[in-house]
Structure 1
Amino acid sequence: MKRHAFVLVLLLTVLAGGTSPVLAQDGVGAWTKAGPVEARLVSAVRGTGELAALPLGLELRLEPGWKTYWRSPGDAGFAPRLDWSRSANLTGATLSYPAPHRFSVLGFETAGYDGAVLFPLQGVPAAAGKPVDLALTAELLVCSDICVPQTLDLALALPAGPADPSDAANDIARAQALVPKGPNGLLRIDAVRATGGTLEVEATAVDGFVTPDLFVETEPPLTFSAPKTVFSDDDRHVRLTLTVTDPQPGLDLAGSAMTLTLVDGDKAVEVPATATASPAAGSGAAVPAGAGLAAMLGVALLGGLILNLMPCVLPVLSLKLMSVVKQGGRAPAAVRAGFLASAAGILASFLLMASVLVGVKAAGGAVGWGIQFQQPLFLVFMVVLVTLFSANLWGLFEVPLPRSLADRLGGEGLAGPFATGMFATLLATPCSAPFLGTAVGFALSKGPVEVYAIFAALGVGLALPYLAVAAWPRVAGWLPRPGRWMATLKTVLGVALMLTALWLLSVLTVQIGEVAAATVGLLMAALVLALWIGRSASGAAGKAGPVLAGALAVVAFAMPAVVGPPAGAAPVADASKARWVPFVEATIREHVAAGRTVFVDVTADWCITCQANKKLVLNRGAVATRMEDAAVVPMRADWTRPDAAIAKFLADHGRYGIPFNIVYGPGAPEGIALPELLSDGAVLEALDRAAGKVAGKGANGAS
């Protein structure tokens, strides 16, 4: 009778929902329901053993359509509030939060959980090895169309004894795995930038992103919009842009400490971060945080104008000079029309580039200023085009071709001046000028409207000299009238353009190898010879010359496809590059942690401004001597050929064109960006600031 009575008592206790020795040993408490939510305490161990921390869990189940909240609930709600004061032999318990979900309702953004969730707990017994009686009062806010606070009293008794795994051990382990931790091999946050109340975060997923989301916690708390995402690199890279939903006047997140939780399905990472100011991409002058489109249009206009003075545009000046000289003595209306046509050619080229970049960006590809020079077919096209222009200046063909880019320069129609403007733009793109990089970086980080607007302003800036003559056509009258002296000038200018063709062939050598590029060069020499024969001979030979020239041009275009980029086509290091190490972004932080200064030079053989920086600053004088210092690591990122890592590095710093130089060190772990046109003073000052030798005014080039 006593045995049956004991069993009956145990059964009644279980049915009543109390804590029984059997339940304690199983590590699972009874479910307690309050409105649409029910909860229970669970333990991963059956006994306390000698554990200094007990692996516990708070398990919730919610009715369909109901949710509860994360530690940072967002626009509304509050996190679970736990009271352990009624527990015995427990000094406290730490609650961990699995990665949350986002709930967007009527423009409000909240973070939390629906369905079911298990919060891992770490309970600390006051005396290890002795029984622990858990008694929890949990206050939860659960919401559907309405929100209802619910209070639940939960209990679980853990006896002294072996800490064997309980029935809930696997569930608690899975819940713990869903808690975001620090850097891992699956997700990585690469950069955090801020402009006013806008936050831009770059992240990488080894296996590619599916549905990434980002939760931002600041102190004092701020609420953020759902992120806008832009994917690239086959969805392995994403840029997430969030804005503060209720910003205070003058808010600037730059320099703010925050905790970022990046979630993608069951993968998550949580890292502390400090937002850096978005760099003024590509200029020596900083652009105020939050500068709008109107301000950037002014920057773009100035950048396009300065582009006329850059070294890479010097070959184009020969075409401009011929165009101006041929206007001597013409009627003002004709002068105006010709220069307006050239300006229209420039503007059309910039709008065409904008269209291509918008399309590539929408497809997730890398975009940037001058990246067309990484494409062998484009380089061959430019070589053929420059060769034809040279042959035209030398008088080897005089037949107007109004529908071809090889139309006679300075012809009576408008097609020639229009083509001159387009050609000027094409040869200008290997260069980056002050203010130009700032404008391009702003445009390519925004949408299609901004891209078209900024590139149109750049085109107007480059075309301003033409527009000035169109506005005051009498300027052309100050020039000498056309005469026999022009024959000599045309020969000299034709030679200048052929030198440009040789430079383009040197860039092509990097892409398709020396033999293939030399073959293209020989084909161009044969093309000029064929045009000369056609000009000098008569009859069938005279007609055969242009036909043969056309065939040679077609063969030149076939060379990249036939040969392809060989493995050995990489640039050959010269003596000036002896100490330069290849670019590996992951090693920068290691060098800085070791107390070294890292100078990163992003360059390309097709970037004339880059070559000028090397010749005039980096490879000579005090700067070259400083680069030999053992405490300085000169790192070169060669972007002559497409490289996803370099493109991503540029995008991380808001740059979409080169040259780009940045210095890292103990005094500037986030980097000091330099202007496109380097000077000895600017480089040496940045090296000193990065090394911590002089007081700086912030990273990212702020000064």
Structure 2
Amino acid sequence: MKWLGRLLALWAVVCASGYAQIEPVGDGKTPGPLKAQHLTVELVTQHPYVYPSGEFNAGLVFTLEEGWHVYWLNAGDSGEPPHAKWTMPAGITATDLKFPVPQRLPLGPLMDFGYEEGVTFPFTLKATEKAKPGKTHIEAKVDWLVCAQVCLPGKAVLGMDLDVLPAKPAEEKTGEEPVGAIGSALKSLPTPLPDGAKVSVNATPTEFLVTLHSPDKGEVWEFYPFDQEQIKNAATQRVESFPGGVRIHLAKAEELTKNPAELHGLIKLDDGWGYEFRVPVSTAAAAAIPGAAGSTANGGATAEIWGFLGLAFLGGIVLNLMPCVFPVLFLKALALVQSAGEERKRQRSHGVAYTAGIVVSFWAIVAILLLLREGGSQLGWGFQLQSPVFVAVLAAFLFLFGLSLAGMFDIGLSLTSVGGGLAAKQGYAGSFFTGVLATVVATPCTAPLMGAAIGFALAQPAWITFAIFTAVALGLALPYMLLCLQPAWTRILPRPGAWMETLKEFTSLLLFGTVVWLVWVFGRLFGEDGVDRAVRLLAGLLLIAVAGWAMRRWQGKWLGVAIAVLLIIGGVAIPLTGQKAAEEEKARWAPWSEAAVQQAHTEGKAVFVDYTAAWCLSCQVNERVALNSDEVQARFKKGNVVLMKADWTKYDPAITEALHAVGRSGVPTYVIYPAGGTAKPDVLPELLSKSIVIDALDKDLK
């Protein structure tokens, strides 16, 4: 359903972009109420006068039709808060709009923050000594977005006449509290934390833990962030109460890659009041909650910890069935069948070595994770998949291993690590490093039952984290260990035969499927450049396929091994290089638009437009051979030429029209628009060289 959320968010943005075309209601002569689509808007004040050095409260009142809403300061997943732009006489100013405590407004997979039925946004009018006595007029240009299933932008121009008095009137009482809509709005504004209250925020890899200590707290309902893209707005907010406070569990936003230095938030209570706070974010483990579920006292493990240990252990067992782990376990089981004649003690020792490899590897990864987290990095289980280098190397290894299983070349059933010589050994070292490999390919997976256990573990002290992940490791090692402890159980496995070769080839499909997933992960690590980077990884895998052919062509010879190693290194290097050059190219070329071309001409600059597309091979060749060469780029810079790229990868009618205007109907097309915009555009040939581009620039820039 994420696509629907993005579609709705995009719709809100499109609606908001229409502000400039919406005709406002009102002419600035009246405070309202003015009727607009699905609401009325009105300007109200505490007094009809001001006086020098005085200030008083006013408000912008929205009254909404049923089912419609306007937005809080942070609108949530989509939307836009109301804005007011003031036109004031000299000596009178207005503060920004103040936003009362909002409510959650769910819409499909989205969660917005705002107000239904009606809301008043208070603000303060202030007068200085420069305010001249007499009649004066203030005016506000207001815009908003009102939404239900669709969103509609609106505008109004409100105005109000005020009397500027020479001094404070005698009848005005000091400290007089506003009444009506303004008074209610002021009371619904968030307040600072009361005396004796304290908020702390601890960050885990997946959550923010907001702990409120307050002797006079009401029942806490929910949390609202003032900043966007920090929490998953639509996620359930789990609240744990304890004597004297509460803790709120907030799922982090997917877009958040680094913890903010501080969290600016609003805690809403059951009576509609709210506490506003701004506190630093700590990466240290949160203190245990006394008397609440999940807490520990005096270092003793509670029943809940044992429950999570059980979940972790069962999750580790289930991990053996995951596509990224099962081939490793299956191949080790086949090796066990082949060695069924060995003495029982030796088989059991292999099981212990395999288990040790898994446990030691889990401990090493968790230790690294905790050390990096203490240093401020925000990492979760499977964090190594956030490293492009790790993903590329793992994909290359699994692809090479899959080629072996598919029969392209033979490295033996016991080959279960990228080093080959370690896990291929028939001794205990081979079993140990098979356990290491099982861990490497297992950690990116989160089997059923593991999610809650991992989330709990990463928020706990180090010893609990290690205990839970040790349970995962033991669960992962259990099936093979049981076969080693009870060799008689291998009788239930089929006898070795020709079927093993067929099944081995079938197992390669699981590895190739995992490689497809890793290519997708690799692309996602680079955001909008992900497709290009994924293609580079595929090109590297093609080179690795050639390495597999070399090992088959010169099986068992040093020549084949040497060629294969060089090709594998190249295959891994291809997807990891070129990022800096891509970033430099992206910085040089601005997106094309007709308006941008006109703006450049207004500034007296010539424009070079590269009409291109991702599927155009000639375009890519021209860019690398000519356009992005040092010589051509130097000539562009010398001539103060604005570089623009018109990307026609997806059909764009504006680009199509621009192509027709220069007599072309496809790409590649290269056009120099001379400075001033009056000279005829110069269309270059489809195939470029450095000299063709430089000569054309010399001619057109005279």
How does the TM-score come out when normalised to structure 2? 0.41
- For CA contacts below 8 A with separation 6 or more, give which structure has more relative contact order: 1
TM-score (norm 1): 0.41
